[in-house]
């Protein structure tokens, strides 16, 4: 069965896997979780051929430079897969990064170690969420169908992040984080940490000063490390916070602007339209539909 909306794509069919891989999983902003139920699949990812076997959970988080490559399935391969859109992933990361100082390091860990062999309890959790999403995608009569699907998908992703928290082996100190990594990698990690500790600082110059770098060099490091410049990273975090306020609060636009430390509501509206294509009010109305 293959079901999809603009928010998510779920499938347990080989053809569905192919379609999703070609149309969605190559996007840098989507997140895919695939549970292998039987057999195996070999997938080219980040320069390696990975084998995903029975009871393995494959997690592909947004990856700017490494789309999924060629694949080969065993004749008895069986699986269930959920791919979520950028909007859901952005909200999850917004919530998670506020309480988890090592969120970036954990994402990097998953990029390098995307396969987790899961136990029966974790498999049961996965299928519970998978079944709930299937029911919602099939039921087109629910008035709040879109909102419910987003809540279920967010819950499923948070369960997955909780599972990763238990398995990811991360350095315990800043000095140990630096050991064994290049200076540009370390600088990029420090920039990301600063960015999420000070989300209302929107000037590259401010971050460059904290890191004793020129703005140009900081942007070059970010571009080489992630495919995005420092200003693009700053805009992404700012837009994620804007969307959070507009989706999840009823605060007046002027209050949202003030909370995010924009100079005035007019500039806030211009910024929102530039980066989302919609004014704050139009964004709220569209999300409510």
246 and 109 co-located in one domain: no
Which residue range forms the structural domain that includes residue 88? Answer: 2-167
Here the tokens at position 24 are: 């969605």
Residue 271 is part of a domain; what is its CATH number?
Answer: 1.10.10.60
Q: In what order do the strands lie in the sheet with 71-73?
A: 48-53, 40-45, 71-73
Sequence length of the chain is: 289
Here the tokens at position 120 are: 């029966």
Distance CA 70, CA 21 (A): 10
Distance CA 198, CA 267 (A): 20
- Say if residue 174's pLDDT is above 50: no
Q: Which of 108, 139, 167 is the last residue of a domain?
A: 167
pLDDT tens for 254-275 read: 999 999 999 999 999 999 999 8
17 and 120 co-located in one domain: yes
132 and 223 co-located in one domain: no
From the list 115, 147, 105, the residue with the least C-alpha distance to 43 is 115
pLDDT tens for 209-231 read: 999 999 999 999 888 877 788 99
218 and 247 co-located in one domain: yes
Number of domains in the chain: 2
90 and 184 co-located in one domain: no
45 and 127 co-located in one domain: yes
From the list 287, 280, 273, 232, the residue with the least C-alpha distance to 259 is 280
Distance CA 115, CA 53 (A): 9
- Say if residue 181's pLDDT is above 50: no
195 and 217 co-located in one domain: yes
- Say if residue 60's pLDDT is above 50: yes
The single-letter DSSP state of residue 180 is T
Q: Which of 133, 167, 201 is the last residue of a domain?
A: 167
pLDDT tens for 112-149 read: 788 888 888 888 888 898 898 888 888 877 777 777 88
From the list 149, 182, 146, 177, the residue with the least C-alpha distance to 82 is 149
């Amino acid at each position: 069965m293959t079901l999809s909306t603009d928010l998510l794509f779920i499938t347990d069919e080989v053809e569905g896997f192919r379609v999703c891989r070609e149309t969605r999983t190559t996007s840098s902003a989507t997140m895919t979780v695939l549970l292998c139920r039987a057999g195996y699949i070999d997938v080219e990812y980040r320069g390696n051929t990975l084998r995903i076997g029975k009871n393995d959970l494959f997690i592909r988080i947004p990856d700017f430079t490494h789309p999924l490559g060629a694949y080969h399935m065993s004749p008895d391969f069986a699986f269930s897969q959920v791919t979520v859109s950028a909007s859901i992933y952005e909200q999850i990361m917004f919530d998670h990064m506020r309480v988890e100082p090592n969120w970036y390091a954990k994402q990097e860990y998953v990029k390098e170690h995307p396969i987790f062999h899961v136990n029966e309890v974790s498999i049961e959790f996965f299928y519970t969420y998978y079944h709930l999403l299937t029911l919602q995608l099939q039921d087109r009569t629910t008035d709040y169908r879109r909102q419910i699907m987003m809540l279920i998908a967010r819950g499923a992703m948070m369960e997955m992040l909780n599972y990763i928290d238990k398995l990811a082996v991360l350095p315990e100190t800043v000095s140990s984080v630096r050991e064994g990594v290049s200076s540009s990698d370390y600088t990029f990690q420090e920039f990301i940490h600063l960015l999420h500790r000070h989300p209302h600082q929107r000037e590259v110059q401010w971050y460059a000063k904290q890191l004793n770098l020129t703005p140009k060099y900081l942007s070059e490091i970010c571009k080489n490390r992630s495919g995005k410049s420092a200003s693009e990273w700053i805009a992404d975090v700012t837009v994620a916070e804007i969307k959070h306020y507009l989706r999840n609060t009823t605060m007046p636009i002027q209050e949202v602007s003030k909370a995010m430390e924009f100079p005035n509501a007019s500039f806030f509206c211009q910024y929102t339209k530039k980066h989302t294509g919609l004014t704050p009010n139009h964004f709220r109305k569209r999300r409510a539909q």
